[in-house]
């Protein structure tokens, strides 16, 4: 039989288990929005959005194969630049795009610093992948690349060079070289980068017939 406590004695404390509420899960959409905003600000600071051309077809390609189908269509048609979207000729554009793919196998002549690649460059690539397309100055050559000949009219040779570059990339089994701005990319990321690069340039052209 339990003995009652004497009068005036303090009551025994009752232990009551308390379980703090788990922290609320972060809102994924808010997190992505913040992350994208930061990446956009960094990419803008890097100068990647200096040109938003008018009269741009805003093409989107998932693969190099898709991009090359459009390049072949334009090349077989009466291709023309959509002014003022680009100041380059069709031949210059083809050579420029070929250079980018070639350098991903051989190494870019004048890469930006590792700090730039790992911060602003990586942020720009993140923005482009989130958007599904890139936007950059369509008259800006690859740093250190041979100058593009504005007088060149041999589009057959330029197209052949681009085809060869795409084929070389497809069969390449060795390591890929860091992008001059984005830094190290996986093979799938590099294909996406090349497809977006072609889409951006091809968007500035159209064909008749």
Mean pLDDT for 44-69 is 74
Burial of 141 (0-12, 13-18, 19+ CB in 10 A): middle
Euclidean distance between CA atoms 183 and 46, whole angstroms: 14
Q: Per the structure block, which two tokens stand in for 182? A: 């984005």
CA atoms within 13 A on the CB side of 89: 13
Nearest alpha-carbon partner for 39 in 100, 126, 151, 117: 126
Q: What is the pLDDT of residues 31-50, one digit of tens each?
A: 344 444 444 444 444 444 44
Asked if 143 and 108 touch (Cβ cutoff 8 Å), the reply is: yes
Q: What is the pLDDT of residues 1-29, one digit of tens each?
A: 444 555 554 444 444 444 444 444 445 44
């Amino acid at each position: 039989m339990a003995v009652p406590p004497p009068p005036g004695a303090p009551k025994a404390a009752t232990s009551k288990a308390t379980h703090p509420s788990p922290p609320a899960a972060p809102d994924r959409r808010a997190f992505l929005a913040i992350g994208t905003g930061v990446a956009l600000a960094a990419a803008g600071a890097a100068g990647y959005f200096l040109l938003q051309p008018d009269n741009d077809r805003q093409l989107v390609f998932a693969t190099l194969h898709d991009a090359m189908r459009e390049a072949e269509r334009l090349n077989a048609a009466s291709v023309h630049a959509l002014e003022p979207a680009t100041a380059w000729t069709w031949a210059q554009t083809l050579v420029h795009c070929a250079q980018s793919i070639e350098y991903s196998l051989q190494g870019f002549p004048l890469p930006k610093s590792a700090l730039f690649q790992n911060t602003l460059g990586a942020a720009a690539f993140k923005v482009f992948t989130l958007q599904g397309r890139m936007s950059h100055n369509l008259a800006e050559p690859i740093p250190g690349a041979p100058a593009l000949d504005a007088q060149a009219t041999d589009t057959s040779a330029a197209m052949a060079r681009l085809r060869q570059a795409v084929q070389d990339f497809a069969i390449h089994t060795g390591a890929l070289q860091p992008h001059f701005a984005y830094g190290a990319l996986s093979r799938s990321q590099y294909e996406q980068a090349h497809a977006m690069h072609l889409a951006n340039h091809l968007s500035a052209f159209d064909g008749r017939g």
